[in-house]
Structure 1
Amino acid sequence: MYACIDLGSNSFHLLIARWHEGSYDIVERFSEKVQLGEGLAESGVISERAFARGMACLDTFRQALARYPIERCWAVGTNALRTAGNADLFLHKASEKGFLIDVVPGLQEAALVYAGVISALPDDETPRLVIDIGGGSTELVVGSGQRCLQSHSMAIGCISWRDIWFRDPPRTEPALSQAMDNAVTAAAEVFSGIAGKLAETPWREVYASSGTAKMLSSVCAQSGPGKRQATGVKLETLQSLKPAIMRSVLEPGFSLPGLKNGRRELILPGWAVLNGFMTACQVTDLNFSPSALREGMLHYLAQASATGESPLHALQAH
């Protein structure tokens, strides 16, 4: 039985799975909104409150792990632990609780995301573009089958974009509308820097993974007549959501269909970042992938177990 721990800038995740003959069964999933990257864009450090939330979550994970006969456990830290000035202190305190965390560079994070996304797709050579919008960074991969043809890690995410653009959202409709437009324009400028490079490797399908994509896929699915299964995002639908998103911010009593209360504070930056990406890279529609970095970690953990090496070494060798 394997355990994978993903310490992201927004959420911490624990995946426990049973691996048997090349496939796995998910035993448990745990997720907690820690927001380790809260205020990081401004202060450069993990705040005292975020630090405490992270430690408390690790205590919860430790209790969950104790209930299972875990053979191998792998913990990975991403953008917040890559960039925070006090990341070493967090890693030290985590080690005292029994968690040895591998902080992976952005391109290795992208490889983990890609491996996770394609694990749930047909095993073929279809060229695909994969995007994962996290709390502090966004990973992009164009791949075909098991091969990553190009990878990028961008310094833009739903937590950092919230802290930059929507820390104190305007309370009037014209001002909020302008702030949303400005945030989309700024996001598009970030992604336009690699749009040309991405276009050099044409893709047929686009998949978006993790929380922001899940949130917006769910909201898009509820925006039309009737209720549809949340499977993806069309740019036209995403842009048409602007008035409803503004209403959800300006009217506390209004509930945006498909949006969970725990994600309300991230709807503005999430919408802006995904809108900016799709606009800059001329993506008219994309699919939501329920598989992401944790499933990619599981792939490399199983591969490492078969060879006797560490999962980080298996990832680096790839």
Structure 2
Amino acid sequence: MYACIDLGSNSFHLLIARWHEGSYDIVERFSEKVQLGEGLVAGGMITPAAFERGLSCLDTFAKALARYPIEHCWAVGTNALRTAANAEQFLARARKKGFVIDVVPGLDEAALVYAGVISALPSDDVSRLIIDIGGGSTELVVGAGQHRLQSHSMAIGCISWRDLWFSDLPQSEAALSQRLDDAAEASAGIFAGVAGELATTPWQEAYASSGTAKMLSAVCAYKSQAQRTTPGVSLASLQALKTDVMRTVLEPGYSLPGLKNGRRELILPGWAVLNGFMTACQVSELQFSPSALREGMLHYLAQASIRGESPLHVLRAQ
């Protein structure tokens, strides 16, 4: 059995699976909102509260892992553990609990995301644009089949954007509207830096993975009063959500259909980041991919176990 642990800037995830003859069966999935990247923009460090939340989550994961005969386990850390000044202290505490964590660069993270997304798609050579908005960074890949044609890791995510733009929320509609517009414009400015390069590799389909995309896809589906056969987000539907997004702040009792309470604080920054990306890169529609980094980790972990190599070595050899 295989276990993949994804220590993200917003959530920690654990995936346990059986791999057999090139395919896998998911046995368990665990996810906990740790927000390891909380306050990182301002202080440059994992805060004491986030530090303890992360360690507590690892204790929960250890209990889950103990229930299964795990043969191969891989733990990966992403943006918060790449950038925090006290990341090594966290990694050392994790090692004492039995978790050896590979902190991967953004481009390795992008490769894992791409492998995860295409694992759930037809085996063909259709060119696809993949975006994964995390808590502290956003990964972009254009690829065809197993081939990544270009990859990018951008220093923007839903937690960092929340802390930067929405830590003190305006209470007037006009001021909040301006704040959202400013945050979306700043997001577009970041993605404009790669828009030209992305355009040199045309794609036929676009997919978005992970929590922000899942959240906005669900809200758009409810808003349109239709369950789409391919869940996703159009730029038009996203921009039409602006008033509803602001109501989550201006009217505390307002419940936005499709939005889970645990994601409520991330609806504004998530909206701004995705809106900025789609505007800057002229993406009119995205499909949501339920497969993401964890499934990509599983793909490389399975190959590594067969070859007797480390999953990072296998990943970087391709």
> Does the alignment reach a TM-score above 0.5?
yes
Please say if residues 221 and 230 of structure 1, whose CA atoms lie closer than 8 Å, have aligned partners that are also in contact: no
Unaligned runs of 5+ in 2: none
Corresponding residue of 2:231: 231
Helix, strand or coil: the match of 2:136? coil
Please say if residues 220 and 230 of structure 1, whose CA atoms lie closer than 8 Å, have aligned partners that are also in contact: no
CA offset digits 1:99-153 (Å, max 9, x no partner)? 0000000000000000000000000000000000000000000000000000000
Helix, strand or coil: the match of 2:124? coil
Deviation at residue 229 of structure 1 after TM alignment = 6.0
Corresponding residue of 1:82: 82
Please say if residues 37 and 135 of structure 2, whose CA atoms lie closer than 8 Å, have aligned partners that are also in contact: yes
| Distance in 2 of aligned mates of 1:225 and 1:129 | 27
Corresponding residue of 2:182: 182
Please say if residues 221 and 229 of structure 1, whose CA atoms lie closer than 8 Å, have aligned partners that are also in contact: no
Helix, strand or coil: the match of 2:128? strand
Asked if 1:170 is matched to 2:170, the reply is yes
CA change 1:41–1:172 in 2 (3 A) is same
| Distance in 2 of aligned mates of 1:16 and 1:183 | 37
CA offset digits 1:149-200 (Å, max 9, x no partner)? 0000000000000000001111110000000000000000000000000000
For 2:5, give the aligned amino acid: I
Deviation at residue 312 of structure 1 after TM alignment = 1.2
Deviation at residue 230 of structure 1 after TM alignment = 6.9
CA change 1:201–1:139 in 2 (3 A) is same
Identical-residue share of aligned pairs (%): 76
Deviation at residue 203 of structure 1 after TM alignment = 0.3
How many correspondences in the alignment? 318
Corresponding residue of 2:222: 222
| Distance in 1 of aligned mates of 2:150 and 2:116 | 16
| Distance in 1 of aligned mates of 2:254 and 2:227 | 19
Helix, strand or coil: the match of 1:123? coil
CA change 1:150–1:64 in 2 (3 A) is same
Deviation at residue 315 of structure 1 after TM alignment = 1.1
Helix, strand or coil: the match of 1:222? helix
Please say if residues 11 and 34 of structure 1, whose CA atoms lie closer than 8 Å, have aligned partners that are also in contact: yes
Q: Using the TM superposition, name which of 220-229 and 249-258 deviates more.
A: 220-229
Asked if 1:275 is matched to 2:298, the reply is no
Deviation at residue 248 of structure 1 after TM alignment = 1.3
CA offset digits 1:26-68 (Å, max 9, x no partner)? 0000000000000001100000000000000000000000000
Corresponding residue of 2:15: 15
Please say if residues 10 and 34 of structure 1, whose CA atoms lie closer than 8 Å, have aligned partners that are also in contact: yes
| Distance in 1 of aligned mates of 2:8 and 2:222 | 28
Helix, strand or coil: the match of 2:152? strand
| Distance in 1 of aligned mates of 2:229 and 2:256 | 16
| Distance in 2 of aligned mates of 1:160 and 1:10 | 10
CA change 1:230–1:246 in 2 (3 A) is farther
Helix, strand or coil: the match of 1:125? coil
Please say if residues 222 and 228 of structure 1, whose CA atoms lie closer than 8 Å, have aligned partners that are also in contact: no
| Distance in 2 of aligned mates of 1:117 and 1:247 | 33
| Distance in 2 of aligned mates of 1:299 and 1:152 | 21
Corresponding residue of 2:285: 285
Q: How does 1:205-216 map to 2 (within 5 A)?
A: 205-216=205-216
| Distance in 1 of aligned mates of 2:116 and 2:40 | 27
Please say if residues 219 and 256 of structure 2, whose CA atoms lie closer than 8 Å, have aligned partners that are also in contact: yes
| Distance in 1 of aligned mates of 2:22 and 2:226 | 40
Corresponding residue of 2:94: 94
| Distance in 2 of aligned mates of 1:107 and 1:228 | 32
| Structure 1 vs Structure 2 CA RMSD | 0.8
Helix, strand or coil: the match of 1:14? strand
Asked if 1:155 is matched to 2:155, the reply is yes
CA change 1:50–1:85 in 2 (3 A) is same
CA change 1:172–1:230 in 2 (3 A) is farther
TM-score normalised according to structure 2 size: 0.99
CA change 1:281–1:74 in 2 (3 A) is same
Asked if 1:71 is matched to 2:63, the reply is no
| Distance in 1 of aligned mates of 2:242 and 2:250 | 12
Corresponding residue of 1:309: 309
For 1:206, give the aligned amino acid: A
| Distance in 2 of aligned mates of 1:152 and 1:71 | 33
Deviation at residue 225 of structure 1 after TM alignment = 2.8
| Distance in 1 of aligned mates of 2:292 and 2:81 | 19
Please say if residues 9 and 135 of structure 2, whose CA atoms lie closer than 8 Å, have aligned partners that are also in contact: yes
Unaligned runs of 5+ in 1: none
Helix, strand or coil: the match of 1:24? strand
TM-score normalised according to structure 1 size: 0.99
Please say if residues 230 and 287 of structure 2, whose CA atoms lie closer than 8 Å, have aligned partners that are also in contact: no
